[in-house]
A and B are shown apart, each in its own frame.
Chain A
């Protein structure tokens, strides 16, 4: 057993579960009551035995129901008699999604370890969406011929039910995430461990990849052998199993207990569990909490130059390339990446820790990630470090009278809109609800209420941020006002914002229209749209996407327009001039809450593989000359997305020197996306003469001169001074980085 102890006893976190009643005698609701009670008592998992051969409640059905009645506890289907693995994969995946990633699966070997092994393969193959194409599998027992894969919400562990079966233990070692057995059993734990560990080694796995769990029965009261008597006697029965045999899961079997087993469930949770945890803490180096164990396969995917052993212990989550959840954070909505490590921070201190770790790797790129929707902001990299603050996503109203709201960088704008809706408030951000607060609120924020209410940064009254040296500072009009000035337009240059404080606007229902116009005369349409928008009252903000003529279809223009008014007559009056510009191909207008417009992003995590190619320009007016040039560019094939947004209005009211967002006079922001830099630059060159600068958030290029286009000379000079003060080592360089004043030239 010494070897075991050296390894920290497989180092798994000790978990407690309940196997709820099922089977012939029980009413359908008993398992539900037990599950709900188990959650209240803090159990980690509720298991239901799936026995379609009995007349008890169907386990998968009950788990679906329980998922809706619980919120934390893991939901485990113990599939003891074989089920069709393909359908089972679907069912468990759905259960996992519906329950927010709480599903777990145990497979029995009643039809033999061979069939169970194939079932594991089939299920894993159907859950694997990282490969493209459909799934084929040809086994002795099961066949798939081109089935479509669909992944669960998280990496659902598959545990093999072993009991006395050596072949099952072997299967668990080869393929299982865990092994579980009734205890005591004929096959001793020591013998089982030998089988499991050897099978794991032979399969090229680390024996620690396989959790060991036991299903136990007993009662509290008179001592009549193992798992009876007092809580202290239970602890002394259980402690050696954990310490000497590496058991990390203990599931209390209630299937044969009379009534609900409420007393046993409660006393076990309140008297046995804490004492056992304390006992384990005394003996094992990693305590009952254990330590995450990475599989050999995962370790093989580590990147060079990253000190994986020195990772800060206190961050919320550490993701390496081999970790299942890495995929969710490796890139974002428009950009794929292959960072060597992602550190997820959820508190200021964790950000400090993560940043210190990053700074111990000066040779590696560092990216900061909030909502993952960066275009200019490179919130991922190749082989470097990503500090992800998407988990810092709280939205709280701190003073209702002054409409002060505190928002974390990881919140998405659709969530912000939804949270402000009950107060009758809104904060203009942009046109897409999936975008994160962190990237947008440090750069500008050109949104649907820009002309009425200004940029997002114009509502900012303070931030808390972690600077390059690891200090946590407040920046507002009073404290660090220079930093506060810089954060509003160039925030990415100065640190990691961990909290934003805004004063938001009173916004009731709004008018929102989607109009599709014939734009056969593209240039003429653009000029007319531009002048209508410029002449429109500030309540109106319009975003226009122009699509060129393609495959016999004439060019058309789609505008999305918001009017800050809930009065249908006002809305119609404001929209009418827009509608009249050209023949309408489609139209839709409604009065609805601002939040309803922003609820336009699927809640799936964005996972792009590409690299955006995008250019931005700010424009005073849509002149006939500009419009002709734009129509020409659209006729070519360099641009696949072309959008003009109205700005001006309240945006222009703010003194251009008041924040680090310079080009406030512009009435329009123009964006084009293309396939590659060379062709897009060539097309863009036809438009550049008309622009007065650009908005950094919409520009992906690294061309020299982009900083000068973004900031006025005086603003840029001041930013460089501040860079020298706050980030002289240029730690933050993933988004329009300026060079500190002392250095020769900006990059």
Chain B
């Protein structure tokens, strides 16, 4: 039972459908209008029913003004980290520092392999992700003199010029579920970005998962509070009170506040493609939750 004390953020998790192609763009604009802090998209480049998330992010960034945006999460195996780092820094510059790097080690290895990507076993994919994050951070860090070299098991970067520097310190958030990946998140991540419905035993899993992250952070001399924890949540708004995330906005706010205070989750991204849901989430649930949490923290 921990509250890491981070400010709460609210966001959307929008399906990047290929058709109608402007739909995810419209939902991003709705998210911004509803006062949400961040809009996010899953990334499955092997699925043509979905758009290329990177291109969509670039487009959405140009169509919005305030809202931050992130992959949720980007597929590292199909997106070479050095190219991704530079693309991300450029997008961060164009958007005035609104980009956030949600990244994952990949799953669906058959589909990745079908696209010509390298298949990795789970252990290797953890290592590859750690390398990937190091490369991104290395290339972004133009405060260091000289070029950047990286000679990893999965990725090599021979003496590359550093840069471009992003417009702000791009937070790296990892979508992770298994102990090793969670410890990696604690070691090198600025944030954690899992999805409620994939938590092994539902919401209560957050307790032991947090412990792994904390352990990873402490092992390298970081503080558990260095890692913000977000959660993608799904549910529905209804008149009558129901179970978790099934009821009126007030109930949502209470439940989210509980999760925030009990499990230290500070970011809640609603998985919905319904503009009405996003409006309710941004305009009603978010302020109500903030009030509840502030009252408890006082």
**How close is A141's CB to chain B, nearest CB, in angstroms?**
10
The answer to whether B161 touches A65, judged by C-beta atoms less than 8 angstroms apart, is: no
The answer to whether B90 touches A57, judged by C-beta atoms less than 8 angstroms apart, is: yes
The answer to whether B114 touches A134, judged by C-beta atoms less than 8 angstroms apart, is: yes
Interface centre among A55, A63, A67, A144, by most chain B C-beta atoms within 10 angstroms, is: A55
Contact A64-B20, Cβ < 8 Å, known A87-B45, A97-B51, A143-B116? no
The answer to whether B94 touches A56, judged by C-beta atoms less than 8 angstroms apart, is: no
The answer to whether B164 touches A93, judged by C-beta atoms less than 8 angstroms apart, is: no
Residues of the B chain whose Cβ atoms lie less than 8 Å from the Cβ of A146:
110, 114
The answer to whether B52 touches A91, judged by C-beta atoms less than 8 angstroms apart, is: yes
Q: How many Å lie between the Cα of A58 and that of B45 in the bound state?
A: 18
**How close is A5's CB to chain B, nearest CB, in angstroms?**
42
The list of the 9 closest CB pairs from A to B, nearest first, reads A150-B48, A64-B58, A68-B62, A94-B52, A58-B87, A28-B93, A55-B163, A57-B90, A94-B55
The answer to whether A86 touches B59, judged by C-beta atoms less than 8 angstroms apart, is: no
Given contacts A61-B58, A64-B54, A86-B78, 20 further A-B contacts (CB under 8 A): A24-B161, A52-B82, A52-B83, A55-B161, A57-B93, A58-B87, A60-B55, A60-B58, A61-B90, A64-B62, A65-B62, A91-B54, A91-B55, A94-B56, A97-B18, A97-B19, A98-B22, A144-B114, A145-B116, A602-B20
Q: How many Å lie between the Cα of A530 and that of B165 in the bound state?
A: 69
Partner of A56, one of B47, B91, B117, B164: B164
Residues of the A chain whose Cβ atoms lie less than 8 Å from the Cβ of B21:
97-98, 153, 603
Q: At the interface, yes or no: B1 with Cβ under 8 Å from chain A? A: no
The answer to whether A65 touches B48, judged by C-beta atoms less than 8 angstroms apart, is: no
Interface centre among B19, B54, B90, B161, by most chain A C-beta atoms within 10 angstroms, is: B90
Per-residue 0/1 for A114-147: is the Cβ within 8 Å of any B Cβ (1 yes, 0 no)?
0000000010000000000010000000111111
Which of B36-89 touch A at CB < 8 Å? 45-49, 51-52, 54-63, 78-80, 82-83, 86-87
User: Hey, which bits of chain A sit against chain B, CB under 8 A?
Assistant: 24, 27-29, 32, 52-58, 60-69, 83-87, 90-91, 93-95, 97-98, 122, 134, 142-150, 153, 602-604
Q: At the interface, yes or no: B235 with Cβ under 8 Å from chain A? A: no
**How close is B46's CB to chain A, nearest CB, in angstroms?**
7
Contact A57-B45, Cβ < 8 Å, known A62-B90, A94-B56? no
Q: How many Å lie between the Cα of A55 and that of B45 in the bound state?
A: 25
Residues of the B chain whose Cβ atoms lie less than 8 Å from the Cβ of A122:
116
The answer to whether B161 touches A54, judged by C-beta atoms less than 8 angstroms apart, is: yes
Residues of the A chain whose Cβ atoms lie less than 8 Å from the Cβ of B117:
84
Q: At the interface, yes or no: B122 with Cβ under 8 Å from chain A? A: no
The answer to whether B90 touches A28, judged by C-beta atoms less than 8 angstroms apart, is: yes
Chain A residue, CB-CB nearest to B86: A58
Residues of the B chain whose Cβ atoms lie less than 8 Å from the Cβ of A90:
45, 48, 52
**How close is B283's CB to chain A, nearest CB, in angstroms?**
19
Q: How many Å lie between the Cα of A56 and that of B86 in the bound state?
A: 8
Q: How many Å lie between the Cα of A145 and that of B93 in the bound state?
A: 37
The answer to whether B91 touches A147, judged by C-beta atoms less than 8 angstroms apart, is: no
Chain A residue, CB-CB nearest to B163: A55
Q: How many Å lie between the Cα of A57 and that of B80 in the bound state?
A: 16
The answer to whether B58 touches A55, judged by C-beta atoms less than 8 angstroms apart, is: no
The answer to whether B63 touches A68, judged by C-beta atoms less than 8 angstroms apart, is: yes
**How close is B104's CB to chain A, nearest CB, in angstroms?**
16
Q: How many Å lie between the Cα of A24 and that of B83 in the bound state?
A: 15
The answer to whether A144 touches B115, judged by C-beta atoms less than 8 angstroms apart, is: yes
**How close is A127's CB to chain B, nearest CB, in angstroms?**
10
**How close is B214's CB to chain A, nearest CB, in angstroms?**
35
Residues of the A chain whose Cβ atoms lie less than 8 Å from the Cβ of B83:
52, 58, 83
Q: At the interface, yes or no: B113 with Cβ under 8 Å from chain A? A: yes
The answer to whether A147 touches B94, judged by C-beta atoms less than 8 angstroms apart, is: no
Q: At the interface, yes or no: B162 with Cβ under 8 Å from chain A? A: yes
The answer to whether B51 touches A94, judged by C-beta atoms less than 8 angstroms apart, is: yes
**How close is B132's CB to chain A, nearest CB, in angstroms?**
15
Q: How many Å lie between the Cα of A29 and that of B167 in the bound state?
A: 12
Chain B residue, CB-CB nearest to A97: B21
Contact A147-B51, Cβ < 8 Å, known A97-B18, A602-B20? no
Residues of the A chain whose Cβ atoms lie less than 8 Å from the Cβ of B90:
28, 56-58, 61-62
User: Hey, which bits of chain B sit against chain A, CB under 8 A?
Assistant: 18-22, 25, 45-49, 51-52, 54-63, 78-80, 82-83, 86-87, 90-91, 93-94, 110, 113-117, 160-164
The answer to whether B87 touches A149, judged by C-beta atoms less than 8 angstroms apart, is: no
The answer to whether B115 touches A65, judged by C-beta atoms less than 8 angstroms apart, is: no
Chain A residue, CB-CB nearest to B115: A86
**How close is B145's CB to chain A, nearest CB, in angstroms?**
15
The answer to whether A52 touches B86, judged by C-beta atoms less than 8 angstroms apart, is: yes
Residues of the B chain whose Cβ atoms lie less than 8 Å from the Cβ of A602:
19-20
The answer to whether A603 touches B114, judged by C-beta atoms less than 8 angstroms apart, is: no
The answer to whether B48 touches A98, judged by C-beta atoms less than 8 angstroms apart, is: no
Q: How many Å lie between the Cα of A28 and that of B21 in the bound state?
A: 26
Chain B residue, CB-CB nearest to A149: B48
Partner of B61, one of A27, A63, A65: A65
Partner of B116, one of A69, A144, A150: A144
Chain A residue, CB-CB nearest to B110: A146
The answer to whether B55 touches A95, judged by C-beta atoms less than 8 angstroms apart, is: yes
Residues of the A chain whose Cβ atoms lie less than 8 Å from the Cβ of B62:
64-69
The answer to whether A145 touches B57, judged by C-beta atoms less than 8 angstroms apart, is: no
The answer to whether A98 touches B116, judged by C-beta atoms less than 8 angstroms apart, is: no
Q: How many Å lie between the Cα of A67 and that of B62 in the bound state?
A: 9
Interface centre among B22, B58, B161, B162, by most chain A C-beta atoms within 10 angstroms, is: B58
Residues of the B chain whose Cβ atoms lie less than 8 Å from the Cβ of A57:
90, 93-94, 164
The answer to whether A145 touches B114, judged by C-beta atoms less than 8 angstroms apart, is: yes
Interface centre among A61, A68, A145, A604, by most chain B C-beta atoms within 10 angstroms, is: A61
Interface centre among A32, A68, A87, by most chain B C-beta atoms within 10 angstroms, is: A87
The answer to whether B116 touches A60, judged by C-beta atoms less than 8 angstroms apart, is: no
Q: How many Å lie between the Cα of A57 and that of B94 in the bound state?
A: 9
The answer to whether B58 touches A142, judged by C-beta atoms less than 8 angstroms apart, is: no
The answer to whether A84 touches B163, judged by C-beta atoms less than 8 angstroms apart, is: no
The answer to whether A64 touches B55, judged by C-beta atoms less than 8 angstroms apart, is: yes
Q: How many Å lie between the Cα of A57 and that of B58 in the bound state?
A: 12
Residues of the A chain whose Cβ atoms lie less than 8 Å from the Cβ of B162:
55
The answer to whether A93 touches B52, judged by C-beta atoms less than 8 angstroms apart, is: yes
Residues of the B chain whose Cβ atoms lie less than 8 Å from the Cβ of A91:
52, 54-55
Residues of the A chain whose Cβ atoms lie less than 8 Å from the Cβ of B78:
84, 86-87
In the complex, 9 of the A-B residue pairs with CB atoms within 8 angstroms, ordered by the A residue number, are A62-B94, A64-B62, A65-B59, A67-B62, A68-B62, A146-B110, A147-B114, A147-B116, A148-B47
